[in-house]
Structure 1
């Protein structure tokens, strides 16, 4: 089942939220990539003077290729709007992110932004979270956090890449993918996870999006 046509269409529609002189947070992943490519053409046509704040090296390279002027998050005191994807969205409009490992930078931008726009395909929408929660952890805290996650009712697995090597974030940390089964109260769970020493960030984002695009098949989408 392909949502590519809808992702492309909604990434173009989302440009209506972009204004001249905006500072724009650029999320990571498939939907964010499609949006950045649309944004690149849009600002050239409109001759807009915007600045983009990338959340990952992946999106930074795509934005640079498209000619989008970039700054880092620490160089700005606000972000007008963030465009990002999601790994899962529940009925309360909480979001799980971090499948690509950029959850810390993405969450910083979410909380800096005046408006957050999330774009995801229909398969990502659920009543309650069912997927594992990515947790960014200092490498020295792996055993401690694994133990504390178990006390919270979860099972933590170290994220690995090829040949069994640990996945490291761009911040030099590891990711524990934590399975809690069905999550009915994500806000409380996220707060408990973040209280554990050595946890850098939780993949449950408490700052809810202001606009959510839902991609459907056949090139269609809606806004919820």
Structure 2
């Protein structure tokens, strides 16, 4: 089962939310990369004059390759539209992100955005969030954060690379992937996790997206506007 055709189709459709002179947040992952490729064609054709704010080195390189002018988040006061993917989306619009490790930068951009557009395939949509929650933690707080997350009912696991080394984010932090089972109160759980000293960001995003794209097989997609 492949969602590639639908991801490509919706990434082109999402260009309708792009206007001349805007500052755009560029998220990370498969859907965001597809959007960057579509945006690159628009920029190269001279149809829009925009600036992009990347959330990761991966998306920064893709944008540079596509000729998209870039600025950093600390150079702008706000972002017009953020285009990003998701690891899981519940029926209320709450999202789990951070599978690629860019959750801190992604949430900063989403917090700065006037509009948020999320793109994901239909396998990511659930009634209640239920996948492990990525939590970005300062290295000095590794042991204490593991204990406090365990006290909250989670089962934290240090994210590692294939060779066994700890995964280090672009911000120099570690990630704990924390299994809380089915999450029925995502806002409350996020607040408790964020309150732990040394936690830099939690992968539960509680800003409800303005637009959600759901890709399906066969090149089809659905647009949900909230």
TM-score (norm 2): 0.98
Aligned mates of 1:37, 1:44 — CA distance in 2: 11
Q: Which runs of 5+ in 2 are unaligned?
A: none
Aligned mates of 1:160, 1:185 — CA distance in 2: 28
| Structure 1 residues 163-174: aligned runs within 5 Å | 163-174=163-174
Aligned mates of 1:46, 1:88 — CA distance in 2: 35
Aligned residue number for residue 8 of structure 2: 8
Aligned residue number for residue 21 of structure 1: 21
Q: Deviations over 1:76-130 (max 9, x none)?
A: 0010000000000001100100000000000000010000000000000000011
Q: Which runs of 5+ in 1 are unaligned?
A: none
Q: Deviations over 1:152-184 (max 9, x none)?
A: 100100000022100000000000000000000
Aligned residue number for residue 110 of structure 1: 110
Q: Deviations over 1:177-200 (max 9, x none)?
A: 000000000000000000000000
Aligned mates of 2:55, 2:176 — CA distance in 1: 20
- Per-residue deviation, 1:47: 3.2
Aligned length, in residue pairs: 224
TM-score (norm 1): 0.99
Aligned mates of 2:8, 2:53 — CA distance in 1: 21
SS for the counterpart of 2:45 is: helix
Aligned mates of 1:213, 1:46 — CA distance in 2: 26
Aligned residue number for residue 79 of structure 1: 79
Aligned mates of 1:46, 1:204 — CA distance in 2: 37
Aligned residue number for residue 145 of structure 1: 145
Do the aligned partners of 2:145 and 2:196 also contact (CA within 8 Å) in 1? yes
Cα RMSD after superposing both structures? 0.6
Does residue 52 in structure 1 map to residue 26 in structure 2? no
| Structure 1 residues 92-131: aligned runs within 5 Å | 92-131=92-131
Aligned mates of 1:182, 1:89 — CA distance in 2: 13
Aligned mates of 2:67, 2:41 — CA distance in 1: 9
Structure 1 segments of 4 or more deviating over 3 A?
none
Aligned residue number for residue 159 of structure 2: 159
Aligned residue number for residue 63 of structure 1: 63
Q: Deviations over 1:128-153 (max 9, x none)?
A: 01100000000110111110111110
- Per-residue deviation, 1:46: 4.1
- Per-residue deviation, 1:49: 1.3
